[in-house]
């Protein structure tokens, strides 16, 4: 099991990563963040992506998709990928990992796999 700091360091090490945060989607606050890209304000991204997660949760509720959990949400921009991965273990409910990647320097499939492994090892 890895703590938050270790997990964020692993995530920022993913090829093409420009920023990563662990976010509380109840408050929209980043509990931890790494990345110093001038093109990405992680606090703004944390708050904004909270709205994305909440909207998807509401939609799933309206569709009665109670037996399903969100594995991840992908937002594809012309130059970036943004991955949102809600934590599914009991201690992580209400939190998500947010990872921003530069498109031309990343492998999306590998990044999703690595983020899944980081989420599985994260201890809150």
Residues 6+ apart with CB under 8 A from 109: none
pTM of structure: 0.92
The tokens describing 112, both together, are 């999703």
pLDDT in tens, 16-52: 999 999 999 989 999 999 998 888 999 999 999 999 9
Mean pLDDT in residue range 94-118: 96
């Amino acid at each position: 099991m890895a703590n938050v700091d270790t997990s964020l360091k692993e995530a920022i090490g993913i090829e093409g990563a420009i920023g990563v945060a662990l976010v509380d989607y109840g408050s929209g606050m980043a509990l931890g963040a790494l990345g110093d890209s001038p093109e990405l304000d992680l606090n703004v991204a944390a708050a904004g992506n909270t709205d994305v997660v909440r909207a998807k949760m509401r939609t799933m509720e309206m569709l009665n998709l109670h037996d399903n959990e969100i594995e991840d949400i992908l937002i594809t921009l012309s130059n970036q990928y943004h991955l949102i991965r809600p934590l599914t273990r009991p201690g992580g409910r209400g939190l998500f990992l947010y990872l921003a990647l530069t498109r031309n320097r990343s492998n999306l499939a590998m990044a999703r796999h690595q983020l899944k492994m980081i989420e599985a090892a994260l201890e809150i």
